């Protein structure tokens, strides 16, 4: 489904990604792990079309998205759940979700969509008339993910969804990610909580200083403390 081949991404003259290659198959959950500053967010932003690689190739189901802008990438079934939780804080949960449906069908079939969203996030239903700024960090993260599902993606790029959350919410987000994958949506998951990421995923990549250093089965990495120490420090 998603194929990333030898992409190189720069911030001005600073060369951050070096020949990064990875794949995500239909419905697959893949962990993408590495230390702070390794290039995880840059990789997700490059796939999403927020940064353009110099060289390399990105395709989704055969469609070339290497130079595509974010809205085109989105139309091709990819969504990014960013680490900085993008919701409209002065709008209600309902309004936030409605806006996420505008590009799809002008929010015409909102009720059906909301039934699905609230089956994944019952807590958001309870908060439907609350404004974004009245939500806890965990609820804001749920709303960010729910908004990401507005475009009915085939692949969700999830950037550190549990960062800064209380342990109780970490569990909730973990369960929601499992549910999303059960619905057939593939995940490329960046997460500092490596144990959680490796439990959800079947395969994993380790990136260090913009270079993919390891790829393999998540179960192998769970047992391979030496590799984890080398690239994650845990
Ligand atoms: N907007 C930017 N301008 C310049 N350098 C950046 C920018 N964003 C990130 N970087 C640098 O790119 C490298 C990779 O960053 P990032 O992809 O955010 O890492 P990660 O998400 O793995 O923590 C780091 O060295 C970081 O300092
Ligand atoms: Mg990051």
Given a contact cutoff of 8 angstroms between Cβ atoms, the answer to whether 135 and 93 are in contact is: yes
Q: Which residue has the CA at smallest separation from atom 3 of ligand 1?
A: 11
> b/e string for 101-120 if b means 16 or more Cβ within 10 A?
beeeeeeeebeebbeebbeb
User: In terms of pLDDT, which residue wins out, 87 or 86?
Assistant: 87
Q: Are 46 and 78 in contact (CB under 8 A)?
A: no
pLDDT band at 189 (very low <50, low <70, confident <90, very high): very high
Can you say how many angstroms the Cα of residue 113 is from the centroid of all Cα atoms in its chain?
20
Q: What is the pTM of this model?
A: 0.94
Write out the residues surrounding ion ligand 2, Cβ under 5 A.
40-41
Separation between Cα atoms, residue 54 and residue 203, nearest integer Å: 27
Q: In terms of Cα–Cα distance, which of 24, 190, 184 is closest to 116?
A: 184
Q: Decide if 164 contacts 151 (C-beta within 8 A).
A: no
Q: What is the pLDDT of residues 162-171, one digit of tens each?
A: 998 888 888 8
Closest ligand 1 atom to Cα of 36: 23
Instruction: Specify burial of residue 157 (Cβ count, 10 A radius: 0-12, 13-18, 19+).
Output: buried
What does the pLDDT look like over 10-42, one tens digit per residue? Answer: 999 999 999 999 999 999 999 999 999 999 999
Q: Which residues of 173-190 are buried (b: 16+ CB within 10 A; e: fewer)?
A: bbebbeebbeeebbbbbb
pLDDT computed for residue 166 by the predictor: 87
Written as one string, the DSSP assignment of 14-30 is EEEEEEEEEEE-TT-EE
Q: What are 137-184's pLDDT values in tens digits?
A: 889 999 999 999 999 999 999 999 999 888 888 888 999 999 999 999
Residue 81 confidence class, pLDDT cut points 50, 70, 90? very high
Q: Is the pLDDT of residue 103 over 90?
A: no
Ligand 1: residue whose CA is nearest its atom 24:
37
**Structural domain spans, the chain:** 1-77+154-161+186-234, 83-152
Pocket of ligand 1 (CB under 6 A): 11, 14, 16, 34, 36-42
Return the residue whose CA atom lies nearest to atom 12 of ligand 1: 16
Domain 1-77+154-161+186-234 in CATH 2.40.50.100: no
- Is 57 in contact with 5 (CB distance < 8 Å)? yes
Residue ID of nearest Cα to ligand 1 atom 14? 39
**Which of 11, 36, 46 gets mutated to test ligand 1 (max ligand atoms within 8 A of its CB)?**
11
- The pLDDT tens digits of the residues spanning 44-79 come to 999 999 999 999 999 999 999 999 999 999 999 999
Cβ atoms 225, 218 nearer than 8 A: no
Provide the pLDDT for residue 169: 85
């Amino acid at each position: 489904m998603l194929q990333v081949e030898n992409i190189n991404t720069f911030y001005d003259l600073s060369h951050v990604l070096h020949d990064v290659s990875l794949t995500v198959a239909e419905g697959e959950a893949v962990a993408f792990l590495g230390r702070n500053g390794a290039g995880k967010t840059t990789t997700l932003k490059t796939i999403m079309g927020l940064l353009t690689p110099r060289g390399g190739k990105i395709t989704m189901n055969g469609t070339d998205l290497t130079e595509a802008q974010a809205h085109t990438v989105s139309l091709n079934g990819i969504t990014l759940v960013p680490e900085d939780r993008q919701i409209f804080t002065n709008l209600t949960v309902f309004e936030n979700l409605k806006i996420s449906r505008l590009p799809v069908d002008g929010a015409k079939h909102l009720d059906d969509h909301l039934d699905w969203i609230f089956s994944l996030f019952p807590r958001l239903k309870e908060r439907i008339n609350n404004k974004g700024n009245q939500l806890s960090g965990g609820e804001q993260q749920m709303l960010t993910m729910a908004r990401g599902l507005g475009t009915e993606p085939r692949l969700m790029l999830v950037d550190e969804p549990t960062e800064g959350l209380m342990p109780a919410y970490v569990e909730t987000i973990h369960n929601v990610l499992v549910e999303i994958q059960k619905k057939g949506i593939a995940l490329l998951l960046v997460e500092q909580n490596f144990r959680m990421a490796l439990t959800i995923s079947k395969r994993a990549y380790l990136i260090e200083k913009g270079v993919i250093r390891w790829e393999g089965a998540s179960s192998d990495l769970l047992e391979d403390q030496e590799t984890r120490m080398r690239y994650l420090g845990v």
